[in-house]
Structure 1
Amino acid sequence: MLRWITALSLAVGSALSASAAPAQPVWVTAWTASPAPDRLDGTPQAPVQFAAQTVRQDIRLGSRADALRLRISNELGTSPLRVEDMTVRGSSGRPLPVQVDGRRVIDVPVGAALLTDPLPLKAAALDEIQVTAFFPQATRPAVRRTTVRVAEGRQPRVADSVAVSYRQNVISAVLVQRADRPSVIVALGDSITEGATAARGSYNQWPERLAVRLQQACPDRFVVLNQGISGNKLLDHGRSHSALSRLDRDVIAVADADQMILFEGINDIRHGGGPTPLPGRTADDMLLGYRQIATRLHQHGARAFIGTLTPFGGSERYEPLSAATRTTINAWARGDDSGFDGVVDFDAALRDPATPESLPAGITRDHLHPNDEGYARMADAIDLTMLGCQAR
C-alpha cells in the first residue's frame, strides 16, 4: 500500500512539475520571398546582377521576435553563391554580424539553402529590419524580386539616400523565435500577390495590408507570408515553377503554414501571345489543379481558401475565350463543392460595376494589375473571422 501511495505521489508530482514548466520557445517563419529562377533581365553584355556591390534589403517582420535567423537560398541558382559581411540591423541600429556555423564568409552550394546562426534581436510585429551583404563575385540571385538598395564596393552601410530598385536577391525567409506559435497564413500567387505594381518599399501589397489588419484586430496571433511570384502559373512552369510544383517547399515546408489563400490562374487562362498564340488552359484543367492544392494542404492539416480571379478586360492577351474561362472558374469557386474551406471574392472587390470584365481606370494602369488602392481593396475584402480572428 505504501509503495502504491509513493508511486501515486511521484506521478502527481511529476505531472504538476510538467504543467508548471515554462513552454519552450518556437521558431516561426516571419517573412518570405519564394525562390525563383534568374529572370535573365538585361543583356548578355550587361546582365542584371550583383558584382563587387553591397546590397541592402529592408524587411518588415510579420511576427514579434526574441531572436532571428535568415534563410539564404541558392536552390534555383546555377552557380555557387558567396556573400560576405552580412549584417542585420534592428530598431537599435546596431549591426549584428550574420554567420553560418560561425563563418562570416558564406558559401551556398547550387541547389541548396542555408540557415544562418541565430541572432539575439528583439522586435515587435511589423517592425522593420535592414539586411546588408557584400557580393564579391558576379552573382545572379534566384529569389523573387523585392525592393533593394545597391551601392558600389564594400560598404559598412547603405544609406537611405541610395535609390531603391526592384531586383532579385538571395534571402528567401526570415525565421523568428518567440514563446508561442501563431497561425501562419501564406498568400500563394502571381504578380498581383507579389505586389509588382505597388509603390516601392510601401508594403502596400495585399498580403502585407492583410497582415496589418490582422495585427490590429488580433495582435500577435497571425503571421501573413507573401509567396507570390510575377508570371507564376497554377499548372505550368514559366518564369518560375508552377504553384503545384512549389506548394510543398513554399507553403508546407518553409512557411509551416496552417492556412493558405490561393490567388492563381490568370496567367494560365490567357492565351500565349505572339503571332500564333497558344490557347490558355481550360476551366476543367484549372479545376483539377485547384482541387489538387486543396487536397494536399488538407492532408497536412492546413486550411485552404481560394480567391476569385480578377478582371483583365482591355489588357494584353485578353480575348473572350479566356474571359469565359475566368467566369466559369469564379462561379465554381463561389459554390459549395470546390473542396476549399472558403472563398475570397477578389473579383467582386475590384471589378468595374459598369464593365464587369474590366478594372476601374482609377485602380490600374495596364488593365491587369491593381495599384495601391486596388491592393487595399483586395486586403479589405478578406473576412478576418474566416481566418479565425475574432476581434476583441
Structure 2
Amino acid sequence: MQRWTLLFSLTLCSAMTAPAVWAAPVWVTAWTAAPAPDRKDGAPDAPVQFAAQTVRQDIRVGSRGDALRLRISNELGTAILRVEDLRVGAKNGKVAPLPVTVDGRAVIEVPVGAALLSDPVQMPVTALQDVSVTAYFPQPTRPAVRRTEVRVVDGKQDAVADSVRLSYQQNVFSAVLVQRAERPQVIVALGDSITEGATARRGTFNQWPERLAQRLQQACPDRFVVLNQGISGNKLLDHGRSHSALSRLDRDVIAAADADQVILFEGINDIRHGGGAQPVPGRAAADMLLGYQQVATRLHAHGIRAWLGTLTPFGGSERYEPVSAATRTTINQWARSGRTGFDGLIDFDAALRDPKVPESLPADITRDHLHPNDEGYRRMADAIDLGMLGCTATR
C-alpha cells in the first residue's frame, strides 16, 4: 500500500509540475481568388495583360494574424510566370511596404501548372483589414486567376497611387494566408458572378460574401473567416469560362481553403440558354439535382457542412426563356423540400425576388435583370442565419 501511495504522490507531483502543452500557431486562409483560365479580354491586337507594368491590388483579409503569406498561382497558366519586386503593406499605412520573397528570392518564377507560397512576412493584421499588394511584371503576362480590382501603371514603380483608375481584370494571387494562435471556422462561398460580386461598386467590398464576413465579425469577433470563391460565368456541371464547380471542388474548397462550411449558390449559367438566334434551354432539373447532391456528398466525406442557396430570378434578362425559368422553379422547390442531402437552405430567391413579379428582380436592385447591385448583395448577406453557421452573438 505504501508503494502505491508513493507512486501516486510522485505521479501527482509530476503532473502538477509538468509544463503546459504549447499549441503551435496555425496558418489560415484569409482571402481567396479562384484560379481561372485567361479570359482573353480585349481586342486581338490589344489584349488585356501585364507587360512591363506595376500592378497594385487591395485585398481585405478575413482574419487577424501575426504574419502573412501570399499564394501566387500559375495553375492554369500556359507559360512560366515571372514576378519581381513583390511587396505588401497596410493600405494607406505609415510604414513602408515589406518585400515578399519565395525561398529568399526577389525574382519569382512560377512553373506552368503550379502555385508557390511566399516566405512568411512578419506583418500583424486585423480582421477585415485592407492590405495592398504590388508587383512588377517585366514580361508579357497572362494572369490566370479570377477578376479582381487592380490598379496598373507602366514601368517599374515604387508605389501605385489611389488616383490610378481601378480596373476589373485578372491577376496572379489566389490566396492570402495569415498565422494566428488558433483556427477559426472557415466558410467558403462557391458560385458564379453573383457570388464573385461582379456588379458591386468598385472598391467597396459590397459582395455578399464580404458583407456576410462583416456580419460575422461584428456578431462573433475573430471566430469566422468567409472566403469568396465565385468566378464570373461559372457553372455547376460544365466547363465554360472556368472549370465547373464540381471539378474545382477539391482545389478551391478542400485544398486551398481548408473549408469547414460551404455555401453553394450555383446553377443559373447551367440552366439558361447559351445565346444565339434560337434559344436552346440549358441543363434540365434532373441533371442539376444530381450535381448538387454530388457536391453535398463530397463535402460531407471531408467533414464539411454544406448549405444550398436557392437560385435567384432572371426574368427580363437577355437569356431568359420559359423552359429555363421552369427549371429554376423546379430546382428551388426541391431545395426547399428538406430532402436534398445538404445541411440546410439559404433562400436567396425569397430575399431578392419582386413580390409582384416573382420571376424577376425588383428594378431598383439590378441593372440587367440578373445581377444584383449593392443593395441586392446586402439583402443576400442579411438572408443568412448566423446561428445556422454556428455564430451565437457574443456582444
Structure 2 SS opposite 1:107: strand
Aligned to 2:141: 139
Q: Which deviates more, 52-61 or 87-96?
A: 87-96
1:1-392 alignment to 2 at 5 Å?
A: 20-90=20-90, 91-392=93-394
Listed one character per residue, the Cα deviations across residues 264-312 of structure 1 (whole Å, up to 9, x for unaligned) are 0000000111134442101100000000000111010010000000000
Identical-pair percentage: 77
The amino acid that maps onto 1:191 is S
Change (3 A) 1:319 1:13: farther
Contact in 1 for aligned 2:279/2:321 (Cα 8 Å): no
For 1:18 and 1:205, the matched residues in 2 are separated by 49
Give the drift of 1:95: 1.1
Give the residue type in structure 2 aligned to 1:29: T
Distance change (3 Å), C-alpha of 1:10 and 1:109: farther
One-letter amino acid matched to 2:204? S
Deviates more, 1:358-367 or 1:276-285: 276-285
In structure 2, relative to structure 1, the CA distance for the partners of 1:164 and 1:18 (3 Å cut) is farther
Shift of 1:261: 0.3
Note the C-alpha offset of 1:373. Answer: 0.4
Give, in angstroms, the shift of residue 385 of structure 1: 0.2
Q: CA deviation at 1:21?
A: 2.6
Q: Matched residue of 2:134: which SS?
A: strand
TM-score (structure 1 length as normaliser): 0.97
1:338-384 C-alpha deviation (Å, 9 max, x unpaired): 10001110000000000000000000000000000000000000000
AA aligned to 2:117 is: L
Shift of 1:93: 3.2
SS in 2 for 1:20: coil
SS at match of 2:299: helix
**1:181–1:6 CA distance, 2 compared to 1 (3 A):** farther
Shift in Å, 1:197: 0.2
Distance (whole Å) between structure 2 residues aligned to residue 165 and residue 254 of structure 1: 26
1:66 is aligned with what amino acid?
D
CA distance, structure 2, for counterparts of residue 8 and residue 102 of structure 1:
53
Q: CA 1:79–1:390 in structure 2 vs 1: closer, same or farther (change >3 Å)?
A: same
- In the alignment, the residues of structure 2 paired with residue 348 and residue 78 of structure 1 have an alpha-carbon distance, to the nearest angstrom, of 42
| Corresponding residue pairs, total | 392
In structure 2, relative to structure 1, the CA distance for the partners of 1:215 and 1:45 (3 Å cut) is same
Give the whole-Å Cα distance in 1 for the aligned partners of 2:64 and 2:45. 44
> Following superposition, which runs of at least 4 residues in structure 1 exceed 3 angstroms of deviation?
1-19
Please state how far the C-alpha of 1:59 moved relative to its aligned partner. Answer: 0.3
Distance 2:45 2:177 in 1: 37
Offset from partner CA, 1:158-204 (integer Å, 9 cap, x none):
01111100010000000000011000000000000000000011000
TM-score by length of 2: 0.96
